[in-house]
Structure 1
Amino acid sequence: MKKFAELTEREILAIAIASEEEDSRIYVSFSEELAERYPATSKVFAEMAEEEDGHRRQLLEIYQARFGQNLPAIRREDVTGYYSRRPTWLMTNLPLETIRGQAEAMEKDAQRFYVQAAKASQDVGVRKLLGDLALVERSHGEKASALSEAILTESAREAEGHTAQKFFVLQYIQPGLAGLMDGSVSTLAPLFAAAFATHTNFSTLLVGLAASLGAGISMGFAEALSDDGAITGRGAPLIRGVVCGLMTTLGGLGHALPYLVPDSWPNAFWTATAIAGVVVFVELWLIAYIRARYMDTPFLKAVAQIVVGGVVVLFTGILIGGA
């Protein structure tokens, strides 16, 4: 790999041309990715893509005037310490704020490159163009904001805010809630059945760990493989699967970990069981709150559905274990 100081003026221009072309393609990808969810912001990125393509044409014209038609085969990845871009296939199904943050980082990186390139150039015309582009990239965020102000009307912002909230619920809240419900409720019966059948904390803990981890792995795969988000708009399947799997595991571990209380302690079993009972109560009410807060379920209805159902499962496990 080359150091930046070792680059010739021809190579610097070639990298700048390739960079502007790639940035333009990335903004086009952003525009296409957001077209259905955020049409107004999609238009902003389309405008930015056109501007980046204009930069590419300017750089190409001055390159051809000085060095001819052939561009050297050098990429920014061939330069030590040079900034790189995330592959566009890693930028699908991203939240709106993440995409905007990525665009802002791209402009800052480009500005730093042009400042360095202008200092390294010996040609007055090239140095001027690179300096001008550095100023353009520095103000690109302001231009993007200006475009946003012009394109993103109050009604468009309100619509996009609603869409962003809906996407957040579909991507994180819904799979997380499904996992928490499954982990908290489905593990109650085997855990408390083992507890009241053995009256030993260590055995109960092992059953709780097995049930929690098994349920987490199962739910994670089920969520990730349920759909790719292309039709339903639920976002990246890997993220949903991880969220669902983690919350399922945490939901089960919550009432399994109290059985870490050593069996050698006085009243160890009843101490651990009492703590686990309190944890179960908190978990069920937390689920009811999340359903009421994000899923537009009336709170009392959520309590009836979750708390009552959880208590029934809990006593089922106790009855089976005590039989």
Structure 2
Amino acid sequence: MNLSFMSTRKRLSDLSEREILALAIASEEDDARIYRNWADFLRADYPATAAIFEGMSAEEDGHRRQLIDAFAARFGDAIPVIRREHVAGYITRRPAWMMQNLSLETIRAEAAGMERDAADFYARAAQLSLDAGTRKLLGDLAAAERGHENRAHELTDQHLGDDARADEDAVAHRDFVLTWVQPGLAGLMDGSVSTLAPIFAVAFATQDPWTTFLVGLAASVGAGISMGFTEAASDDGVISGRGSPLKRGLSSGVMTAVGGLGHALPYLIPDFWTATTIAIMVVFIELWAIACIQNRWMQTPFWRATLQVVVGGGLVLAVGVLIGSG
């Protein structure tokens, strides 16, 4: 077997002092660029956190300059091209388009993890080195990265006080509600309520559990696809600030299908009356759950949510039973 493709990535223990310094320089450049991109991405909605990342980017630039000076003093001005992806087992970073889809808290945690990873890498490299000068240099880099993590906490205290954090957390909560909760809740309501009449009409008209299940499955999946495409196509989120249409469409479509399948699945039970009894119990559990979600996430008064969802859903259920029994 030809294993030559495996030789394209060096192990950390195979790197020379010159290559380790070059790798450190490239890594500091990448991390500084990531922090600047985050600052630019967050500046409009989260200015305090953006200021933190601006400060961290400046710290990374300082580390890079120190590394370049050290490299020039020992090896000259020609820095070899070596990056993270060239070294087996080296820490990696997510691409920019994945970073921008992260939540605010995840971005903050990712930044802390970046500093820990860099410090751990330098400490590990120092342990592998048998050269005293290289070992000292790598130990200094590890200490610098750990100090950078402490500096990140200092910048957080400086720029992100309790009021600023509360404001930014409120914006993040609003974005989560508008992007995931609101479309998902609308889908769950649509799937739970709109499929009641056809499913129970077929159930009482045929008293055939398998036929009822097939109709419920088709109605639920079809409604999920329809709601998902409708939500995604209705608003690109640029003006409304409701977030990615893909995320909203996925949330709405999946929850619509889940809402319908909840009271269709009991009809996999062969006995009609047993299946129907369980399905009706599931319906009321679904409706009460929706009312609780509205109260929790949408700040809808509980009794108003109950009137809208439970009473409305009960009426739709009754219509389906009456039509099917006729």
After the TM superposition, which of the residue ranges 82-91 and 93-102 deviates more from structure 2?
93-102
| 1:217-256 per-position Cα deviation (integer Å, ceiling 9, x unaligned) | 3323333444444443333444333332222221111111
Give the fraction of aligned pairs with identical amino acids, expressed as a percent.
59
State yes or no: 1:57 paired with 2:40: no
Other-structure match for 1:6:
14
Other-structure match for 1:34:
42
CA RMSD of superposed structures (Å): 1.9
Other-structure match for 2:286:
283
Q: Measure the CA separation in 2 of the matches of 1:184 and 1:141.
A: 48
Contact 2:13 2:125 survives alignment (8 Å): no
The unaligned stretches of length 5 or more in structure 2 are 1-8
Mapping for residues 108-257 of structure 1, pairs under 5 Å: 108-119=116-127, 120=129, 122=131, 124=133, 127-257=135-265
Q: Measure the CA separation in 2 of the matches of 1:259 and 1:43.
A: 57
Q: Measure the CA separation in 2 of the matches of 1:121 and 1:284.
A: 67
Contact 2:204 2:325 survives alignment (8 Å): yes
SS of 2:81's partner is coil
| 1:173-230 per-position Cα deviation (integer Å, ceiling 9, x unaligned) | 1122112111111111221121112111011011111112222233233334444444
Other-structure match for 1:265:
none
Q: Measure the CA separation in 1 of the matches of 2:150 and 2:238.
A: 33
Distance 1:283 1:83, change over 3 A: same
State yes or no: 1:89 paired with 2:97: yes
Instruction: Provide the aligned length of Structure 1 versus Structure 2.
Output: 317
State yes or no: 1:102 paired with 2:110: yes
Other-structure match for 2:6:
none
Contact 2:122 2:138 survives alignment (8 Å): yes
Report the AA paired with residue 290 of structure 2. I
Q: Measure the CA separation in 2 of the matches of 1:7 and 1:161.
A: 44
Report the AA paired with residue 242 of structure 1. L
After the TM superposition, which of the residue ranges 273-282 and 109-118 deviates more from structure 2?
109-118
Q: Measure the CA separation in 2 of the matches of 1:107 and 1:65.
A: 26
Report the AA paired with residue 209 of structure 1. L
Q: Measure the CA separation in 2 of the matches of 1:13 and 1:121.
A: 16
Distance 1:107 1:205, change over 3 A: same
The unaligned stretches of length 5 or more in structure 1 are 263-267
| 1:58-111 per-position Cα deviation (integer Å, ceiling 9, x unaligned) | 111221222233222222111111111000111114211111111122111111
Q: Measure the CA separation in 1 of the matches of 2:97 and 2:315.
A: 46
**Equivalent of 2:272, from 258, 262, 269?**
269
Other-structure match for 2:315:
312
Distance 1:236 1:134, change over 3 A: farther
| 1:24 Cα deviation from its structure 2 partner | 0.5
Other-structure match for 2:4:
none
Contact 1:94 1:235 survives alignment (8 Å): no
After the TM superposition, which of the residue ranges 216-225 and 11-20 deviates more from structure 2?
216-225
Contact 1:28 1:49 survives alignment (8 Å): yes
Q: Measure the CA separation in 2 of the matches of 1:178 and 1:282.
A: 17
SS of 1:72's partner is coil
Q: Measure the CA separation in 2 of the matches of 1:309 and 1:286.
A: 14
Q: Measure the CA separation in 2 of the matches of 1:84 and 1:203.
A: 52
Contact 1:175 1:244 survives alignment (8 Å): yes
Contact 1:40 1:151 survives alignment (8 Å): yes
| 1:5-44 per-position Cα deviation (integer Å, ceiling 9, x unaligned) | 1111111111111110110111111112221222111111
| 1:98-142 per-position Cα deviation (integer Å, ceiling 9, x unaligned) | 111111221111112212333427362x54443222112123332
